[in-house]
Structure formats: C-alpha cells, structure tokens
Amino acid sequence: MRQITKTAPPVEFTEFCKTPGVSFDVLSGEPKKALRKRLLEDQGYICCYCGCRIKNDERTKIEHIKCQEEHDDLALDFSNMLVSCDGGDKDRENGVKPRHKLHCDAKKGNKDIPISPLENVEGLLSYFEDGTVMGKGEIGRELIRILGLNTNFLNSQRKNAIENYELKFPEDLGQELTCLREKQNGFFDEFCFVLEQHVIDLINDKESI
C-alpha cells in the first residue's frame, strides 16, 4: 500500500450531494462517473489496497474506508472514498477456475481497517521476490488479514510484476526509484510500491558490497 493524496471532489458529485434526501445507494449517472474518475485520477489508476491496475469501468469499486453499515454519516463523504479492484468478485460470478480467495474491498466487507491509505502506510508491509507480503507489527498484520493481501492470486501477480520488471531493469536505480514514486502521464506503475521496495533492496545490496 502507499499513501494516497486526495484532491477536491468533482462538481457533479458535490451538486448531487446537495439534493435533499439523497444517499450513496441512489448515486448513478454522471455524478457517479465523475466521482469514480476523480478517485482513479487521485490514485493513479491503481487499487487503493493491492496496487493492481484498475480501469474506469464498473469492475472498479467505489470503496468506503469506514464502511457504510457502521458509518452511515460518511456514506457520501468524499474523504471517506477510494477506488478498489473487485477483489475477485466478478471471477466468482463468472465461475473462473481456479477459484481464488477474495481480497481488497471484496474481502474487507463491512470491517474497518486499522489505518487508512490516506495516512502514512508505507513501511507497514514488506514484500518479497516470491510475491508474498509480511506485516510489520500488529497494524501491518491486521491489514493483511482483513484485506486478504497474502492470497495466492495476489502473490502470483506481484511475483510476475517483479520478474517482468527485471527484464527491462535500468542501470540508474536512483532515477528508477524516483519514477516509481511519481505518476507517469497520470498513471502509477502497477504494483509500484512493491517494485519500489524491490529497488530499495537492490540499492542497499549494492551499497553493502
């Protein structure tokens, strides 16, 4: 996970919220499209939890950091919203085999996580070359448990991302680290924070020689 910086909500969404009696359940049309697009732009088109690539379509979920069931007063609060991958929901509906375990928003459900991606979450999770992830401290371990971040599917995706990245690996690791930390044409690299940690490990290895 990486810390997300939010901008302002889109005008279409703020105008919708001014209508008396509206709720998130009836959010649709242009206000919902504008909201999803703005959240995607803020996040650089990666999932707020696992970091996989997400698109501006119905498969991308508008996620509430504090769940609607327990925090109804925050259901239309832009600062409580992110976008997440579908966490395997569509694959389950379509009967895709093998049936991988749910993750991210689909796994989280109505549970609250111990720290928001809007806070400084860097350093709470350690990623390894085989794609697995380990939590640092109780908060890190809770994030993995609640969000299902150590499923075989995500482990395989992260492992592939590292292996594919190494096929085009640059000489200037410092410059590459800067690129991974910044959006390129509005997009973060898929699993950028996993790759960032991998590059940092390589830099530390070179310096220790």
Residue 1 domain flag:
no
Domain count, the chain: 1
- Does the pLDDT value for residue 209 go beyond 60? no
Rounded distance between C-alpha atoms, residue 159 and residue 139, angstroms = 24
Residue 110: give the domain boundaries.
Answer: 11-208
Residue 91 domain flag:
yes
How does pLDDT run across 156-204, given as a tens digit for each residue? 999 999 998 877 666 778 888 888 999 999 999 999 999 999 888 888 7
| Percent with pLDDT over 70 in the chain | 91
How does pLDDT run across 108-120, given as a tens digit for each residue? 999 999 999 999 9
Q: What is the pLDDT of residue 206?
A: 64
Relative to beta strand 61-64, strand 125-127 is unpaired
Spatial neighbors of 152 by CB under 8 A, at least 6 apart, are 100, 101
Residue 128 domain flag:
yes
Predicted structure pTM score: 0.92
